[in-house]
Structure 1
Amino acid sequence: MSGDSVHKISDTILNKLRVYSRARVIAITLVTLGVLILLYLFLPLLIAKIDYLTSTDENRVVEERVDTVWSENRGSAVPNITLIEDLFPDKEFSIIIPKIDARSRVIADVDPFDQVAYTVALNNGIAHAKGTAYPDQIGNTFLFAHSALNFYDLVKQNVNFFLLTELVKGDEIYIMYKGEMSKYIVEKNIKVDPEEIGYLTTGSDHGKLTLMTCWPAGTDFKRVIVEATKQ
């Protein structure tokens, strides 16, 4: 074999190795970027889950504290506003679920069928479905935290209600509305198809609270529905 042939073969092999190396670097870079993006998106959910698993005692203390404030102020003409404001994100309308350490402002009168309206609301807290009861009324108060826009929004807007699946019968939920605190006890926790909207329109002859979010987190496959009764 001539020297030129050997050089040509060597050059061909080197070129193939360079192409392979570039492709390998690109592939590794893309995979790394993909992993980092997923970590960025799901980090709030991961932190929420870890906090829930490691802060059971702390959450129980918060639950006892909230329940004490509720008991002391129930039926009081002059509630202890200082204690209430310290617990709730917004005295006008907000929610606390001690077991899962969920605390959020609630945006009132959001059309659940208006994508633009509920997207704006969910970027600022939990949404109260327009046309459903307010916490100081008899009927079904419907609160939701979900979006059907895209993967990023689904993850971001599910954070507040991410751990709703952990709630069981007997767990406590507290609502602050116009300076008045209400307590609800969970009665039911189920998963339904997105097409099932009966829970939104179901009435009640007493104080009822319905919470909804997408499940699994970051998807729009199912809905988690939590129903609770006012005490």
Structure 2
Amino acid sequence: MSNSKGRHRKEYHEPKISEIEKLVSSFRSAHGHDKLMDSLRSILGEKPKTLHKAKKEDTKGSAEPKISELEKIFQHFKEIHGEEKLKQSLNEATGRDNQKPHKKDKTKEHNIYVDREIKFKKVKSKDVAKDIINTAKSFYGFVREKLKYKKYRYPAIAISILMGIYLLFNLPLLYMRMNWEKPADTQKLIVKTQETVQKKMADSATLAPGEVVPAESRLIIPKINVNTPIVYANTKDEKVVQDLLHNGVVHYQDTAKPGEVGNSFITGHSSNYWWDTGKYNYVFTLLDKLERGDQAVVYYNNKKFVYTVRDKLVVEGSDMSVLAPTDTPVLSLMTCTPPGTSWKRLVVRFDITDPVFHKPETVTKENVVEVPKEKEKKPGLISRFFSFFMPN
């Protein structure tokens, strides 16, 4: 066995990888790539994928290797170096010839930036700042790649210079356009308001022909023949009030004056002791004879006021509710009852009838007002910047 192997090595020298590569390349040129691959599969013990019919092909030189020669060389290489080494060598040989000169794929390079742009348009995160940064990076990479070529670089530099000069000379204009805000639109609304309206009352009642208004304040009740001066007390001291009753009827302090809105309260004697020589001791003796609809006239401050009886009531001497203010001009006349005693108090109340008093009325008014509409959202900085170049 050793001798046979030695003879075999002398007859066939050990093939090198470079020789195998030359043989593979030459075989492919003569028989085609499919024939080569089928041969290699049969040598390695694999089933060929294509079957070729034997053809007689013309060869140009004696250097063209035959299939049998290749098989012998490959078999000998396999015995010496092993099957793995043979596969590796064949893969390198077939792969190197199959390689073509590498050309820069500009389309693929261009698609990088196209993909970035498309991705940014389709995918928008909630972080706006992050989206802006990603867009800026993508744009920067695109510009940087383009500026490597002179045909893009020099026009870009020229445009940038011209743009900078243009903006420099138009800074005030740019500032005004970026900070301008559209005036707020207005809308008309109907606003309902409630107001208290009151017609003004005349200053005085109508005077009869030839009637003269007395200089002093007086109370006249034609039905019970009362014609008495009115004394205005400036104190609530009961003793002082009793003394003033010798001069007429007394108007209580802090009550409304005749003709004014409120309770004008006047008191007078219905009787007195016989030895008291007062002139007006019995001025209101017949006050209980007045009925609803009877009138009384008051002259005050050179004006005339006519009152008409509304009602009458009897109260205790300590009842102060009769002094309560009112929201209309009211005249209240009070005296002791029954006459000749100071047991109770008779109060006759009058409403003013001339001049006519008009009560306040609540009136609803409708006013049309213009109010600004809801303020629109202010455009962003980028939108305001581009508005400089794209006027409305």
What interval of TM-score do these two structures reach, taking the shorter chain for normalisation? 0.5 to 0.7
CA distance in 2, matches of 1:154, 1:198: 32
CA contact (8 A) 1:135 1:182 kept: yes
Q: Does residue 1:210 correspond to 2:332, yes or no?
A: yes
Assess, with a 3 A threshold, how the Cα gap between structure 1 residues 122 and 155 changes in structure 2: closer, same or farther. closer
Report the counterpart of residue 48 of structure 2 in structure 1.
none
Residue among 61, 84, 104 paired with 2:212: 84
For the residue of structure 1 that corresponds to 2:317, the secondary structure is coil
For the residue of structure 2 that corresponds to 1:199, the secondary structure is helix
- Equivalences for 1:33-72 in 2 at 5 Å? none
Report the counterpart of residue 302 of structure 2 in structure 1.
179
Assess, with a 3 A threshold, how the Cα gap between structure 1 residues 156 and 195 changes in structure 2: closer, same or farther. farther
CA distance in 1, matches of 2:277, 2:340: 5
Report the counterpart of residue 101 of structure 1 in structure 2.
225
Residue among 114, 137, 144 paired with 2:260: 137
CA distance in 2, matches of 1:145, 1:209: 14
For the aligned residue pairs, the C-alpha RMSD in angstroms reads 2.8
For the residue of structure 1 that corresponds to 2:326, the secondary structure is coil
Assess, with a 3 A threshold, how the Cα gap between structure 1 residues 106 and 81 changes in structure 2: closer, same or farther. farther
Assess, with a 3 A threshold, how the Cα gap between structure 1 residues 139 and 81 changes in structure 2: closer, same or farther. farther
CA contact (8 A) 1:211 1:226 kept: yes
CA distance in 1, matches of 2:267, 2:337: 12
| TM-score for both structures, normalised by structure 1 | 0.58
1:70-93 deviation line (CA, Å, top 9, x unaligned): xxx735xxx6796234xxxx5331
Q: Percent identity?
A: 30
Instruction: Write the letter of the residue equivalent to 1:108.
Output: Y
The alpha carbon displacement at 1:124 in A equals 0.3
CA distance in 1, matches of 2:227, 2:272: 24
1:64-112 deviation line (CA, Å, top 9, x unaligned): xxxxxxxxx735xxx6796234xxxx5331100000011100001353x
CA distance in 2, matches of 1:218, 1:128: 22
Question: Which has a greater percent of helix?
Answer: 1
CA contact (8 A) 1:158 1:214 kept: no
CA distance in 1, matches of 2:310, 2:328: 14
Gaps of 5+ in 2: 1-203, 354-392
Count of residue pairs brought into register by the alignment: 150
Assess, with a 3 A threshold, how the Cα gap between structure 1 residues 163 and 154 changes in structure 2: closer, same or farther. farther
Residue among 205, 212, 219 paired with 1:74: 205
CA distance in 1, matches of 2:283, 2:271: 16
Assess, with a 3 A threshold, how the Cα gap between structure 1 residues 206 and 173 changes in structure 2: closer, same or farther. same
CA distance in 1, matches of 2:215, 2:209: 9
CA contact (8 A) 2:271 2:339 kept: no
The alpha carbon displacement at 1:224 in A equals 0.7
1:25-59 deviation line (CA, Å, top 9, x unaligned): xxxxxxxxxxxxxxxxxxxxxxxxxxxxxxxxxxx
Report the counterpart of residue 248 of structure 2 in structure 1.
125
Report the counterpart of residue 161 of structure 1 in structure 2.
284
CA contact (8 A) 2:247 2:279 kept: no
The alpha carbon displacement at 1:136 in A equals 3.0
CA distance in 2, matches of 1:81, 1:98: 18
Question: Which has a greater percent of strand?
Answer: 1
Gaps of 5+ in 1: 1-72
CA distance in 2, matches of 1:185, 1:132: 19
Report the counterpart of residue 29 of structure 1 in structure 2.
none
Instruction: Write the letter of the residue equivalent to 2:244.
Output: A
CA distance in 2, matches of 1:193, 1:171: 25
CA contact (8 A) 1:109 1:131 kept: no
CA contact (8 A) 1:213 1:225 kept: yes
| TM-score for both structures, normalised by structure 2 | 0.35
The alpha carbon displacement at 1:149 in A equals 9.2
- Bigger radius of gyration: 2
4+ residue runs over 6 A deviation: 147-151
CA distance in 1, matches of 2:261, 2:237: 25
Report the counterpart of residue 223 of structure 1 in structure 2.
345
